[in-house]
Structure 1
Amino acid sequence: MDEVPADLATIGPGVYADIENDAYHSGPGISKSGLWTIYKQTPRHFKFPAPREESTQATAAKDKGTAFHWAILEPNTFEARAMRGPEDRRGNNWKDAVAEAKNTKRLLLTQGDYDDALVIRDTVHADAWISALIVSPHSQVETSSYWIDPETGVLCRSRPDLYRSDLGVMVDVKKTRSAHPDAFARSVIEYGYHAQEPWYTDGHLANGQAVNGFVFLTWEDKHPFVTARYELPPSIVDEGRAICRKALQRYAECAKADEWPGYSGEITELQFKRWSYQEIDAPIEEAA
């Protein structure tokens, strides 16, 4: 594992542990999420994102997500890192709990969120195969990989949820409304998980790390928190890699010119699928 520089702005190629999540996301390098924004929206959406919401609700959701990841990926240390607080975030009971959590350096959760995290932990690790894959001295949780893309010269970064260094296997944890195979396949395309897999694996390969497999561990966000594990076929991974290449090239061009365009400034005629026509016949030239 490489040593993190004192100034993250100077970071170079390597695999690093112990980079804080916020520092990673605000630091140098282009990530898969940035490329996906460029691909699905525009470079302007990437360069000038909407300010992050800082409401109590947004903070609670972020803390809940962090806790659930700990429960799944680092189950043996969850109780030491999280604190079971009051039923809700109102009143003096919550204020007192906030003070206690700060003093003990733990993440404060409502009773419900804490208990749900334990249920998710027990559900995931009831699967002996996935539990053995996650709980190992060879497991590297949320390490950060940086590399230079040889075609564009751009600094790239990725942060896989878990990497088993002895097996060369990555595990990516995904919360989902439905873990049914058909539903998750749609999520793969909608959220670009097929681009995420090659981006993560190529980043580790660029740093001399073997990658022999990639597993998506999905869990439903409502009781009973049903889980499933999936892998992607090579063809859809190749599609994701092509998406990354196209977006990365666009990013490099925008960065070089320091121009970040939005949608076309031209007046563009909209195109409609054949199913859009209900009362009249669709034009022959319209797409099927």
Structure 2
Amino acid sequence: MDLKSTHSVLYRDTQRSIIDYGYHQQGAMVIEGARALGIPASSFTLLWVESKRPHCVRAQTLKDEDLARGAALNELAAKTFWQCFQSGVWPGPGDDRADAEYVDLPDWYRQSVDDRIKFELREAA
């Protein structure tokens, strides 16, 4: 279990924090470390505590499939680090997209907005 302070324990806010801070990757690493030490570990739970009164609390356990995604991302990060170490080439900020003159909204957010607008328009009719 890992204690996290947050501005909100609402589901969508905790989801966003998991993505933004890579808690699925942290959980996978904690489980891997525990197993390496011979400590049984099969799940990872986040205990959220709001930083402002009334300090609401929520416990959420990450799903195994999301911990597996975190482990895969950790493996990819280690591979990338090793390749950079071997080649001596360390990409910096801005090296990720050659077409960075324009920036667009992520596909998942576009779909979310489109769905919300479609639903709201249907409800208004």
TM-score by length of 1: 0.33
Provide the residue aligned with 2:21 in structure 1.
191
Provide the residue aligned with 1:245 in structure 2.
75
Counterparts of 1:226 and 1:196, CA distance in 2: 23
Call closer, same or farther: CA 1:265–1:243 in 2, change over 3 Å: closer
1:260 partnered with 2:90: yes
Provide the residue aligned with 1:208 in structure 2.
38
Counterpart of 1:272 (choices 104, 107, 116) is 104
Question: Which protein has the bigger helix share?
Answer: 2
Aligned length: 105
Provide the residue aligned with 2:61 in structure 1.
231
Counterparts of 2:86 and 2:73, CA distance in 1: 20
What do the CA deviations read for 1:126-150 (whole angstroms, capped 9, x no partner)?
xxxxxxxxxxxxxxxxxxxxxxxxx
What do the CA deviations read for 1:15-67 (whole angstroms, capped 9, x no partner)?
xxxxxxxxxxxxxxxxxxxxxxxxxxxxxxxxxxxxxxxxxxxxxxxxxxxxx
Q: Which runs of 5+ in 1 are unaligned?
A: 1-170, 276-288
| Root mean square deviation, CA, Å | 2.2
Call closer, same or farther: CA 1:231–1:272 in 2, change over 3 Å: same
Q: Which runs of 5+ in 2 are unaligned?
A: 111-125
Give the Å deviation of 1:251. Answer: 0.9
Bigger radius of gyration among the two: 1
Structure of higher RCO (CA pairs closer than 8 Å, 6+ residues apart): 2
What do the CA deviations read for 1:225-281 (whole angstroms, capped 9, x no partner)?
111111011222122111111111111112223332213288425463475xxxxxx
After TM superposition, the structure 1 = structure 2 runs for residues 47-62 of structure 1, keeping only pairs within 5 Å, are none
